[in-house]
Each structure stands twice: as structure tokens, then as C-alpha cells.
Amino acid sequence: MSTQASPTTITHEIASRMKGPSAKILVLGATSGIAEATCRIWAAQGASLFLVARNPEKLAAVAADLRVRGARFVDTAVADLDDTENHASLLAHAVNALTGMDVAYLAHGILGDQARAEQDFNQAAQIFHTNLIAPVSLLTWLSNYCVQRHAGVLAVISSVAGDRGRKSNYAYGASKAGLSAFLGGLRNRVDREGVTVLTIKPGPVRTAMTGHMPGSQKFADVNAVAKSIVAAIAAKKDNLYVPFQWQPIMFIIRNIPDRIFKKLNL
Ligand SMILES: NC(=O)c1ccc[n+]([C@@H]2O[C@H](COP(=O)([O-])OP(=O)(O)OC[C@H]3O[C@@H](n4cnc5c(N)ncnc54)[C@H](OP(=O)(O)O)[C@@H]3O)[C@@H](O)[C@H]2O)c1
């Protein structure tokens, strides 16, 4: 007699784990300020976490903190996520260590240097590689894993910057626009297979990425942002603007005619 669980059984098991304390969560870019704050909430809920980041010291510190905060299980892997060749083996190892996966949370990214990107194609290419090509590679593997099981949430941090290119950061914005469009298409493909794709679009948040920016002390608090992300993943939402007021703000910004927009200093 076969002991293999049917896709329906797997879906029900995962749905109940998402409500309870034992969700199995893979975090890519786990040392990011937003990811770390999100993981602290999951740890307090007793989740199992597999953390991937490229800085071993920071990663070890984050993992130790999450164990103290109550995570049921924490394992780690050091990886530069720009190395797409290693993605398949990294992800297979992570899912194996977690003995399954309910949520994959993609949080890594770089702001890059817009002024440099205007002069040096290599800088623009680096921004596109880290923010778009690497996530596309990760999501190709992860989406097929979830489709096979007819379950799972793929939660990915894009940005409001992807909603309209602006002169101050259009290389970064375009990389996130590509990511948001990819996620929209992926959702359209995998939703019917029982897989959720959540596009997270934060406005400016106080983290290491934005600490150097003027006015950054007024940016959103990372813990409040993390709380909204945890809730959106649990509710299996499709899209999250966070803080929520960025949804109407970006609606207005997207609809400003180019003849006006091109004269603005944004
Ligand atoms: N903060 C904001 O205002 C804001 C707004 C909208 C969207 N976002 C997005 O939110 C996500 C998290 O950003 P954050 O604000 O938390 O900034 P952060 O603290 O600077 O985190 C970025 C993380 O990405 C990691 N990373 C970059 N390139 C990597 C690579 N090749 N391999 C592995 N890890 C890599 C960094 O690792 P290292 O520490 O080793 O450099 C860092 O942990 C990013 O996707 C960002 O674009 C942020």
C-alpha cells in the first residue's frame, strides 16, 4: 500500500500549520532589516526557520537571537544569492532541512547607486541582477516545488519604487517593476494550483538600506511593517502596500500625466 500523501492532504496540513505555531519558513536575505523584524514575530510564534544570507557573522547573530525568541527550529546557510548556479542545490538543502516548506520569503535586495548607474552600465546591471534576475531564478525553483505540492506561499519584497520610474532611483525602480510584473504573471499561473504569490510593496522603511537618506527618521518603523507582512502572509493576500497609505499615493503618482511628471523632481 502506498504511504504517499495526496496533494489535498498536503494542502490541508499546510493550511493548518499556517494558522498554528509550526509553520516552516525559508527566508532568503535573512539579515535584511525588514526580514529580521519579520522573523522575530515568526520566532515568537514558534515557527521553524531556515535562514539564508551572505554575511556569516550577521547571519549567526540573527539565528541565535531567533532561537532565544522561541523559534522551534533554526538552521542557516551562507550564500551570495547573486550566484544563481547554486540556487537549486541551496533550495533543495533548505527544504530538506525544514522537512518541507510552507512559506518562502524573499527579502534580499540592493538600492544601488543611481548616479553611478547613469554613467556605468555595470552598476545598472548589478542592480538588475540582484533585485530581478536572482529572484526570478529562486522563484522558478520555488514555484515548481509548491506547484508539485499544490500548496505554499511565495512572499516577495518588491517596492513602491517599481510602480513608476523616477529620476532619483529609476534603475532600482525598474528592477522592482520587473519583479512586480514577474510576480503578477507567476500568481496568474500558480494560483489555480493552490499556491499563493504575495507581492509586498513597502514605501520607505527605516533600515540599513535607507539610513543615509535625508529624512530617514520619518520613514516607516520596521517592526510595524513586519507585523503587516506577517498578517498578509497568514491571510494569503496577493498584494500588500505597507504602510497602507502607499496604495492611494502610488495610484495618484501612476496617473500623473508624463507632460507634468517629467518636470517634477521626484
Ligand atoms: N527599506 C526600504 O525603504 C525599502 C522600501 C521598499 C523595498 N525595500 C526592499 O526590502 C528588501 C529588504 O530591504 P531592507 O530595507 O531590509 O534593507 P537591508 O537591511 O539593507 O537588507 C538588504 C539585505 O539584502 C542582502 N543582500 C543584498 N545582496 C545580496 C546577495 N547578493 N546575496 C545575499 N544577500 C544579499 C543584504 O545582505 P548584506 O547585509 O550582506 O549586505 C541585506 O541583508 C529589499 O528587497 C529592498 O529592496 C526596502
pTM (2 d.p.)? 0.94
pLDDT tops 90 at residue 224: yes
Per-residue model confidence (pLDDT) at position 165: 98
**pLDDT tens digits for range 177-209:** 999 999 999 999 999 999 999 999 999 999 999
* pLDDT confidence band for 39 (50 / 70 / 90): very high
Per the CB < 8 A criterion, the answer to whether 38 and 253 are in contact is no
Per the CB < 8 A criterion, the answer to whether 195 and 156 are in contact is no
Per-residue model confidence (pLDDT) at position 6: 58
Phi-psi region of 131 (alpha: psi -120 to 50; beta: other; left: phi over 0): alpha
DSSP conformation class of 166: -
Nearest CA to ligand 1 atom 13: 32
Per-residue model confidence (pLDDT) at position 211: 87
240 Cα–ligand 1 center, Å: 18
* pLDDT confidence band for 135 (50 / 70 / 90): very high
Percent of the chain with pLDDT over 70: 92
Number of H helices, E strands in the chain: 11, 7
User: What's the mean pLDDT in 18-28?
Assistant: 80
Per the CB < 8 A criterion, the answer to whether 66 and 43 are in contact is yes
Round to whole Å and give the CA distance between 129 and 122.
Answer: 10
CA 30 to ligand 1: nearest atom: 43
- Does the annotation count 105 as an active-site position? no
Round to whole Å and give the CA distance between 198 and 76.
Answer: 24
Per the CB < 8 A criterion, the answer to whether 102 and 14 are in contact is yes
Averaged pLDDT of the chain: 94
Round to whole Å and give the CA distance between 266 and 129.
Answer: 24
User: What's the mean pLDDT in 121-130?
Assistant: 98
Nearest CA to 220 out of 159, 141, 143, 262 is that of 159
For ligand 1, say whether the CB of 178 is within 6 Å of any of its atoms.
no
Nearest CA to ligand 1 atom 28: 109
